[in-house]
Amino acid sequence: MKQCPECNETFDDQKAFCDMDGSALVDQTDSLRAALSQANPPSSSASASAWVTGTIGALIGIIILAWIVVTIDGGDFLTTGNIVNMLQRSVALGIVSLGQTIVILLGSLDLSVAALISLASLVTAKEMEGGSVVGAIAIVLLMGAGIGLANGLIITKLRVNAFIATLGMALILGGIIENGWSGPQGGVTDGFSENLGYTRFGLIPMSFILFAVVAVVVWFVLRHTRFGYRVYAVGGSEDVSKLSGLRTHRTIIGAHVVCSLTAVITGIFLASRLKAGTPTVGLDGGYDLESIAAVVLGGTALTGGRGGVIGTIGGVFILAVLDNVFNQLEFNSFLRDVVRGIIIIAAVAVYARRLHRRRTGRGRQA
């Protein structure tokens, strides 16, 4: 006897599974073997590793170029204050980008993170004003898990496209914020604000240590747990994953919960920096599109199945260095966005051409 992981029906034939809509029985043994062999070709990991290496190389090149340009302009780039500034600026974008990496590896995405960051900062400040720090953090984390669960259920059970589902959630959260708050609210305790927002050990801010811890946890989960394996499998091919017995809906829901948790952690950090909750802190920072840009710069494919944490960190640092240079050179916001957009498009175009050449080469060899 065998039970279908999607519809929970039990069948006598060990070769029989439900098809994608759960309405019929088909013999999938031979097709499953073929599909599994094609879902993640050997060159996929090689191309992803090459892109991560390229991202790190690009980061080093941008740092050197930034140092030269800023020095010529009469500024100081590699100073203690400037390095600390870049590390601190990378924290908020870095943490939320780690969560975005997981959902993009699935072939999904989350556009609600910016609004969720704003809401998390408001709730954090409000709860800390009248209660304990631990209680406030617990409430915010539970809120984030609930919103991520809602996103995952809408995508999997209601069959709504992730773009539409998370955009709708962003609008809902934005409406809640606009109706409930009109300006900075609450007050983060001085001790919490000082410890997380401003304390540093030499060149390393405490907040950057938080970023590093989250990065290590996400990396470990993706590389050394069953959940991580399932994320890559579902991103490679959701249909093949279903046929191989994986509960794809659980994986998708879990990934969106993790993404929302990283968003609320970002909101907690920003509240500690500002010492209050701000209704526009997430939207003004553009963390929805910025996090996607960092993930893509790091080599994670928007179609899913390829990429990882190391590349995303490289993408975050590239954006942080660019922001720092733009500030020192006093670029206006229009020119800043234009240059960043050109860099992102060029980077993805180079990756797409390399991937196309590899696939073409495999086709000729076959």
| For the chain, percent of residues with pLDDT exceeding 70 | 83
pLDDT for the residue 299:
84
The model's pLDDT over 160-207, given as tens digits with 9 standing for 90+, comes to 999 999 999 999 999 999 998 888 888 888 889 999 989 999 889 999
pLDDT for the residue 180:
85
Please give the CATH topology (third level) of the domain spanning 53-358.
ABC transporter involved in vitamin B12 uptake, BtuC (1.10.3470)
pLDDT for the residue 363:
58
Best CA proximity match to 190, nearest among 140, 279, 121, 125: 125
Q: How far apart are CA 259 and CA 253, in angstroms?
A: 10
Selected residue with higher pLDDT from 279 and 12: 279
Sign of CA dihedral 336, 342, 346, 349: positive
pLDDT for the residue 8:
52
Contact in structure between 215 and 94 (CB atoms under 8 Å): yes
Q: Indicate the burial class of 51 (C-beta count within 10 angstroms; 0-12, 13-18, 19 or more).
A: buried
pLDDT for the residue 46:
55
The model's pLDDT over 84-135, given as tens digits with 9 standing for 90+, comes to 989 998 999 999 999 999 999 999 999 999 999 999 999 999 999 877 899 9
| For the chain, percent of residues with pLDDT exceeding 90 | 48
Best CA proximity match to 94, nearest among 287, 342, 296, 308: 287
- Listed range (38-47, 235-244, 322-331) with the worst mean pLDDT: 38-47
pLDDT for the residue 161:
94
254: tokens are: 């879990």
Length of the chain as a residue count: 366
Contact in structure between 121 and 177 (CB atoms under 8 Å): no
Residues 6+ apart with CB under 8 A from 234: 106, 107, 241, 246, 248, 251, 252, 304
Contact in structure between 99 and 110 (CB atoms under 8 Å): yes
Domain boundaries, the chain: 53-358
Question: Which alpha helices (H) appear in the chain, and where do they start and end?
Answer: 29-39, 42-72, 80-105, 113-130, 133-156, 162-180, 190-192, 206-224, 226-236, 238-243, 248-274, 281-285, 287-297, 309-329, 333-365
Task: Grade residue 49 by pLDDT with cuts at 50, 70 and 90.
Answer: low
